[in-house]
Amino acid sequence: MRIGILQPGPLNAITDVAGVKVGQVTIVRGDHVHTGVTAVLPHGGNLFQDKVPAGFFVANAFGKFIGSTQIEELGEIETPILLTNTLNVAEGAAAAVEWTLAQPGNEQVRSVNAVVGETNDGFLNDIRGRHVTIADARHAIESAREGPVAEGAVGAGTGTVAFGWKGGIGTASRKLPQSLGGWTVGVLTQTNYGGVLTIAGVPVGVRLGQYDFRREIEQKKADGSVVVIVATDAPLSDRNLRRLAERAFAGIARTGSGFSNGSGDYAVAFSTNPAVRRTPERRSGTATVEQLANDAMSPLFQAVAEATEEAAINSLFAGTTVKGDRGTIEALPLDKVLPMLGVRAPR
Protein backbone atom coordinates (compact mmCIF):
# COMPACT_ATOMS: atom_id res chain seq x y z
CA MET A 1 0.00 0.00 0.00
CA ARG A 2 1.28 3.44 -0.90
CA ILE A 3 -0.06 6.74 0.38
CA GLY A 4 0.56 9.71 -1.87
CA ILE A 5 3.01 10.28 -4.68
CA LEU A 6 6.26 11.09 -2.89
CA GLN A 7 8.89 8.66 -1.65
CA PRO A 8 9.47 8.07 2.07
CA GLY A 9 12.90 8.43 3.60
CA PRO A 10 15.01 5.36 4.46
CA LEU A 11 13.34 4.81 7.84
CA ASN A 12 9.95 6.30 6.95
CA ALA A 13 10.20 8.13 10.27
CA ILE A 14 10.63 11.62 11.70
CA THR A 15 14.26 10.67 12.33
CA ASP A 16 14.89 10.70 8.59
CA VAL A 17 15.41 14.41 9.20
CA ALA A 18 19.08 14.43 10.15
CA GLY A 19 19.76 15.18 13.81
CA VAL A 20 16.24 14.58 15.10
CA LYS A 21 16.06 12.22 18.08
CA VAL A 22 13.12 10.41 19.67
CA GLY A 23 12.90 8.89 23.15
CA GLN A 24 9.97 7.00 24.67
CA VAL A 25 9.01 5.66 28.07
CA THR A 26 6.14 3.16 28.18
CA ILE A 27 4.35 2.55 31.48
CA VAL A 28 2.17 -0.56 31.80
CA ARG A 29 1.13 -1.97 35.17
CA GLY A 30 -1.48 -4.69 35.07
CA ASP A 31 -4.74 -3.87 33.32
CA HIS A 32 -5.22 -0.41 34.79
CA VAL A 33 -2.10 1.59 33.88
CA HIS A 34 -1.36 2.17 30.20
CA THR A 35 0.40 5.47 29.61
CA GLY A 36 3.78 7.01 28.90
CA VAL A 37 5.75 9.87 27.42
CA THR A 38 7.41 10.55 24.08
CA ALA A 39 10.17 13.14 23.57
CA VAL A 40 11.31 14.65 20.27
CA LEU A 41 14.60 16.56 20.19
CA PRO A 42 15.16 18.80 17.15
CA HIS A 43 18.92 18.33 17.44
CA GLY A 44 21.46 16.81 19.80
CA GLY A 45 23.07 20.03 21.00
CA ASN A 46 22.06 22.67 23.51
CA LEU A 47 18.53 23.48 22.37
CA PHE A 48 18.21 26.50 24.62
CA GLN A 49 21.32 28.14 23.18
CA ASP A 50 20.79 26.99 19.59
CA LYS A 51 17.04 27.37 19.24
CA VAL A 52 15.20 26.18 16.13
CA PRO A 53 12.62 28.21 14.21
CA ALA A 54 9.14 26.81 14.64
CA GLY A 55 5.50 27.29 13.79
CA PHE A 56 2.36 26.22 15.66
CA PHE A 57 -1.18 25.60 14.44
CA VAL A 58 -4.44 24.73 16.18
CA ALA A 59 -7.21 22.93 14.27
CA ASN A 60 -9.39 22.59 17.40
CA ALA A 61 -8.29 23.83 20.80
CA PHE A 62 -10.01 21.46 23.23
CA GLY A 63 -6.72 20.49 24.86
CA LYS A 64 -3.58 21.60 26.61
CA PHE A 65 -0.37 22.52 24.84
CA ILE A 66 2.18 24.10 27.14
CA GLY A 67 4.56 26.58 25.54
CA SER A 68 2.46 27.26 22.44
CA THR A 69 2.00 30.98 23.03
CA GLN A 70 5.74 31.63 23.08
CA ILE A 71 6.20 29.60 19.91
CA GLU A 72 3.53 31.76 18.26
CA GLU A 73 5.09 34.97 19.59
CA LEU A 74 8.79 34.31 18.97
CA GLY A 75 8.65 31.59 16.32
CA GLU A 76 11.17 29.30 17.98
CA ILE A 77 11.61 26.24 20.21
CA GLU A 78 14.24 26.00 22.95
CA THR A 79 13.49 22.63 24.64
CA PRO A 80 12.61 19.08 23.67
CA ILE A 81 8.97 18.57 22.62
CA LEU A 82 7.19 16.16 24.94
CA LEU A 83 3.92 14.28 24.51
CA THR A 84 2.05 12.55 27.35
CA ASN A 85 -1.44 12.19 28.80
CA THR A 86 -3.73 15.06 29.78
CA LEU A 87 -3.11 14.96 33.53
CA ASN A 88 0.67 14.55 33.35
CA VAL A 89 1.48 17.60 31.26
CA ALA A 90 2.93 19.28 34.35
CA GLU A 91 5.42 16.46 34.86
CA GLY A 92 6.49 16.70 31.24
CA ALA A 93 7.06 20.44 31.58
CA ALA A 94 9.03 20.01 34.79
CA ALA A 95 11.26 17.43 33.13
CA ALA A 96 11.96 19.69 30.15
CA VAL A 97 12.83 22.56 32.49
CA GLU A 98 15.07 20.42 34.70
CA TRP A 99 16.89 18.93 31.72
CA THR A 100 17.41 22.34 30.13
CA LEU A 101 18.76 23.94 33.30
CA ALA A 102 21.21 21.05 33.72
CA GLN A 103 22.80 21.47 30.26
CA PRO A 104 26.35 22.86 30.24
CA GLY A 105 26.23 26.50 29.20
CA ASN A 106 22.82 27.15 30.76
CA GLU A 107 24.07 28.06 34.23
CA GLN A 108 22.66 31.58 34.00
CA VAL A 109 19.29 30.64 32.47
CA ARG A 110 16.32 32.08 34.41
CA SER A 111 13.41 31.28 32.09
CA VAL A 112 12.60 28.17 30.03
CA ASN A 113 9.70 27.66 27.63
CA ALA A 114 8.88 23.96 27.95
CA VAL A 115 6.83 22.52 25.05
CA VAL A 116 4.41 19.74 26.03
CA GLY A 117 1.35 18.36 24.23
CA GLU A 118 -1.17 15.74 25.30
CA THR A 119 -4.12 13.53 24.53
CA ASN A 120 -6.47 11.89 27.01
CA ASP A 121 -5.81 8.17 27.55
CA GLY A 122 -8.44 7.86 30.29
CA PHE A 123 -10.25 4.84 28.84
CA LEU A 124 -7.37 2.40 28.90
CA ASN A 125 -5.36 4.19 31.59
CA ASP A 126 -6.08 5.08 35.20
CA ILE A 127 -5.45 8.69 34.26
CA ARG A 128 -6.42 10.07 37.68
CA GLY A 129 -3.50 8.14 39.15
CA ARG A 130 -1.10 10.44 37.25
CA HIS A 131 1.42 7.66 36.79
CA VAL A 132 3.97 9.53 34.64
CA THR A 133 6.67 11.03 36.86
CA ILE A 134 9.15 13.80 36.19
CA ALA A 135 11.84 11.10 36.17
CA ASP A 136 9.94 9.17 33.48
CA ALA A 137 9.65 12.23 31.27
CA ARG A 138 13.28 13.14 31.79
CA HIS A 139 14.34 9.59 30.92
CA ALA A 140 12.44 9.91 27.64
CA ILE A 141 14.52 13.00 26.86
CA GLU A 142 17.81 11.50 27.94
CA SER A 143 17.22 8.23 26.08
CA ALA A 144 16.32 9.93 22.79
CA ARG A 145 18.18 8.51 19.81
CA GLU A 146 18.38 8.80 16.07
CA GLY A 147 17.28 5.80 14.01
CA PRO A 148 14.09 3.69 13.91
CA VAL A 149 11.10 4.86 15.97
CA ALA A 150 8.81 2.38 17.77
CA GLU A 151 5.13 2.77 16.86
CA GLY A 152 1.77 1.76 18.26
CA ALA A 153 1.14 1.29 21.99
CA VAL A 154 4.38 2.89 23.13
CA GLY A 155 5.32 6.11 24.89
CA ALA A 156 2.60 8.73 24.83
CA GLY A 157 0.51 6.41 22.67
CA THR A 158 0.39 3.52 25.13
CA GLY A 159 -3.21 4.16 26.16
CA THR A 160 -4.69 6.06 23.23
CA VAL A 161 -7.63 5.07 20.99
CA ALA A 162 -8.27 6.09 17.38
CA PHE A 163 -11.46 5.47 15.38
CA GLY A 164 -12.53 2.97 18.04
CA TRP A 165 -9.39 0.85 17.58
CA LYS A 166 -6.04 0.96 19.33
CA GLY A 167 -4.20 4.09 18.29
CA GLY A 168 -0.83 5.29 19.50
CA ILE A 169 2.42 6.69 18.16
CA GLY A 170 2.91 6.74 14.41
CA THR A 171 5.62 8.18 12.21
CA ALA A 172 6.42 8.63 8.53
CA SER A 173 8.52 10.80 6.22
CA ARG A 174 8.74 12.09 2.68
CA LYS A 175 11.88 12.90 0.69
CA LEU A 176 11.47 15.43 -2.11
CA PRO A 177 13.29 14.75 -5.38
CA GLN A 178 16.27 16.99 -6.10
CA SER A 179 14.25 18.82 -8.73
CA LEU A 180 11.95 20.00 -5.89
CA GLY A 181 14.75 20.81 -3.48
CA GLY A 182 15.66 17.40 -2.07
CA TRP A 183 14.33 18.32 1.37
CA THR A 184 12.99 15.82 3.91
CA VAL A 185 9.81 16.17 5.95
CA GLY A 186 9.31 13.85 8.93
CA VAL A 187 6.18 13.51 11.06
CA LEU A 188 5.34 11.91 14.40
CA THR A 189 1.72 11.63 15.55
CA GLN A 190 -0.02 10.80 18.82
CA THR A 191 -3.42 9.52 17.65
CA ASN A 192 -6.43 9.54 19.95
CA TYR A 193 -9.24 10.83 17.77
CA GLY A 194 -12.42 9.69 16.02
CA GLY A 195 -14.30 9.96 12.77
CA VAL A 196 -14.85 7.62 9.84
CA LEU A 197 -11.60 5.77 9.24
CA THR A 198 -10.36 6.17 5.68
CA ILE A 199 -7.12 4.63 4.44
CA ALA A 200 -5.68 5.70 1.09
CA GLY A 201 -9.16 6.82 0.10
CA VAL A 202 -10.85 3.53 1.07
CA PRO A 203 -13.77 3.92 3.55
CA VAL A 204 -12.48 1.23 5.88
CA GLY A 205 -14.55 2.33 8.88
CA VAL A 206 -17.79 2.16 6.91
CA ARG A 207 -16.97 -1.28 5.49
CA LEU A 208 -16.12 -2.58 8.96
CA GLY A 209 -19.27 -1.05 10.40
CA GLN A 210 -17.39 0.95 13.04
CA TYR A 211 -17.51 4.70 12.75
CA ASP A 212 -18.84 7.76 14.53
CA PHE A 213 -22.49 8.80 14.12
CA ARG A 214 -23.38 5.32 12.91
CA ARG A 215 -26.74 5.61 14.60
CA GLU A 216 -29.00 8.68 14.80
CA ILE A 217 -28.24 8.75 18.51
CA GLU A 218 -24.48 8.54 18.82
CA GLN A 219 -23.31 5.07 19.69
CA LYS A 220 -19.81 6.37 20.30
CA LYS A 221 -18.39 9.83 20.83
CA ALA A 222 -16.29 11.29 18.07
CA ASP A 223 -14.28 13.30 20.54
CA GLY A 224 -10.56 12.74 21.00
CA SER A 225 -7.32 14.41 20.09
CA VAL A 226 -4.31 14.25 17.82
CA VAL A 227 -0.93 15.93 18.10
CA VAL A 228 1.34 16.20 15.07
CA ILE A 229 5.06 16.99 15.29
CA VAL A 230 6.67 17.98 11.99
CA ALA A 231 10.40 18.20 11.35
CA THR A 232 12.14 19.33 8.18
CA ASP A 233 15.66 20.11 7.02
CA ALA A 234 14.35 22.76 4.63
CA PRO A 235 15.49 26.26 5.67
CA LEU A 236 12.11 27.76 6.54
CA SER A 237 11.06 30.89 8.36
CA ASP A 238 8.82 30.51 11.40
CA ARG A 239 6.00 31.93 9.29
CA ASN A 240 6.33 29.21 6.66
CA LEU A 241 6.75 26.59 9.39
CA ARG A 242 3.36 27.64 10.71
CA ARG A 243 1.98 27.16 7.21
CA LEU A 244 3.60 23.72 7.11
CA ALA A 245 2.02 22.80 10.47
CA GLU A 246 -1.36 23.90 9.15
CA ARG A 247 -1.09 21.65 6.09
CA ALA A 248 -0.43 18.64 8.31
CA PHE A 249 -4.16 18.61 9.00
CA ALA A 250 -4.85 17.89 5.35
CA GLY A 251 -3.36 14.49 6.16
CA ILE A 252 -5.44 14.07 9.31
CA ALA A 253 -8.58 15.01 7.36
CA ARG A 254 -7.81 12.32 4.78
CA THR A 255 -7.88 9.68 7.52
CA GLY A 256 -11.52 10.55 8.21
CA SER A 257 -11.34 13.00 11.10
CA GLY A 258 -14.20 15.47 11.49
CA PHE A 259 -12.28 17.60 14.04
CA SER A 260 -15.06 17.27 16.57
CA ASN A 261 -15.95 19.69 19.34
CA GLY A 262 -14.14 17.73 22.03
CA SER A 263 -10.98 17.06 20.05
CA GLY A 264 -7.67 18.77 20.78
CA ASP A 265 -5.90 18.94 17.42
CA TYR A 266 -2.47 20.57 17.39
CA ALA A 267 0.57 20.65 15.13
CA VAL A 268 4.02 22.06 15.70
CA ALA A 269 6.68 22.24 12.97
CA PHE A 270 10.37 23.07 13.20
CA SER A 271 13.38 23.33 10.91
CA THR A 272 16.73 21.73 11.72
CA ASN A 273 18.62 23.55 8.96
CA PRO A 274 21.71 25.32 10.37
CA ALA A 275 21.09 28.26 8.02
CA VAL A 276 18.02 29.32 10.02
CA ARG A 277 19.00 28.11 13.50
CA ARG A 278 18.62 30.80 16.18
CA THR A 279 22.17 30.79 17.57
CA PRO A 280 23.32 33.22 20.30
CA GLU A 281 25.16 35.24 17.66
CA ARG A 282 22.09 35.57 15.45
CA ARG A 283 19.92 36.47 18.43
CA SER A 284 22.28 39.17 19.67
CA GLY A 285 21.64 41.63 16.87
CA THR A 286 20.99 41.87 13.15
CA ALA A 287 21.27 38.51 11.38
CA THR A 288 21.21 37.44 7.75
CA VAL A 289 19.69 34.04 6.99
CA GLU A 290 18.95 32.12 3.81
CA GLN A 291 15.46 30.66 3.70
CA LEU A 292 13.10 29.22 1.12
CA ALA A 293 10.72 31.57 -0.63
CA ASN A 294 6.96 31.18 -0.50
CA ASP A 295 6.91 29.86 -4.06
CA ALA A 296 9.01 26.86 -2.99
CA MET A 297 6.54 25.71 -0.32
CA SER A 298 4.02 23.71 -2.33
CA PRO A 299 6.11 20.49 -2.56
CA LEU A 300 6.66 20.66 1.20
CA PHE A 301 2.92 21.07 1.74
CA GLN A 302 2.34 17.90 -0.30
CA ALA A 303 5.03 16.09 1.68
CA VAL A 304 3.66 17.01 5.09
CA ALA A 305 0.10 16.04 4.14
CA GLU A 306 1.24 12.62 2.91
CA ALA A 307 3.57 11.95 5.84
CA THR A 308 0.95 12.96 8.40
CA GLU A 309 -1.69 10.77 6.81
CA GLU A 310 0.64 7.79 6.76
CA ALA A 311 1.94 8.41 10.30
CA ALA A 312 -1.61 8.34 11.65
CA ILE A 313 -2.42 5.15 9.76
CA ASN A 314 0.87 3.57 10.87
CA SER A 315 -0.14 4.13 14.49
CA LEU A 316 -3.20 1.96 13.85
CA PHE A 317 -1.34 -0.69 11.86
CA ALA A 318 1.12 -1.06 14.75
CA GLY A 319 -1.65 -1.26 17.34
CA THR A 320 -2.25 -4.27 19.55
CA THR A 321 -5.35 -5.23 21.53
CA VAL A 322 -5.20 -3.76 25.04
CA LYS A 323 -7.29 -4.61 28.10
CA GLY A 324 -7.34 -1.43 30.11
CA ASP A 325 -8.80 0.42 33.05
CA ARG A 326 -12.35 0.79 31.71
CA GLY A 327 -12.50 -1.88 29.05
CA THR A 328 -10.74 -3.48 26.09
CA ILE A 329 -9.80 -1.81 22.82
CA GLU A 330 -9.16 -4.11 19.89
CA ALA A 331 -6.38 -3.71 17.37
CA LEU A 332 -7.38 -2.77 13.85
CA PRO A 333 -8.28 -6.09 12.15
CA LEU A 334 -5.59 -6.15 9.49
CA ASP A 335 -6.81 -9.48 8.13
CA LYS A 336 -9.95 -7.65 7.02
CA VAL A 337 -8.42 -4.25 6.24
CA LEU A 338 -5.49 -5.24 4.04
CA PRO A 339 -7.63 -6.99 1.38
CA MET A 340 -9.76 -3.82 1.15
CA LEU A 341 -6.55 -1.99 0.27
CA GLY A 342 -5.49 -4.54 -2.32
CA VAL A 343 -2.77 -5.94 -0.06
CA ARG A 344 -2.48 -9.62 0.73
CA ALA A 345 -2.78 -10.23 4.47
CA PRO A 346 0.17 -12.11 6.02
CA ARG A 347 -0.48 -15.70 7.04
Annotation marks residue 31 as catalytic: no
Annotation marks residue 225 as catalytic: yes
Annotation marks residue 265 as catalytic: yes
**Beta carbons within 10 angstroms of residue 335's beta carbon:** 10
Query: Which entry of 225, 260, 271, 315 is annotated as an active-site residue?
Result: 225
Query: Which entry of 68, 173, 257, 263 is annotated as an active-site residue?
Result: 263
Query: Which entry of 16, 265, 271, 325 is annotated as an active-site residue?
Result: 265
Positions annotated as catalytic residues are 225, 263, 265
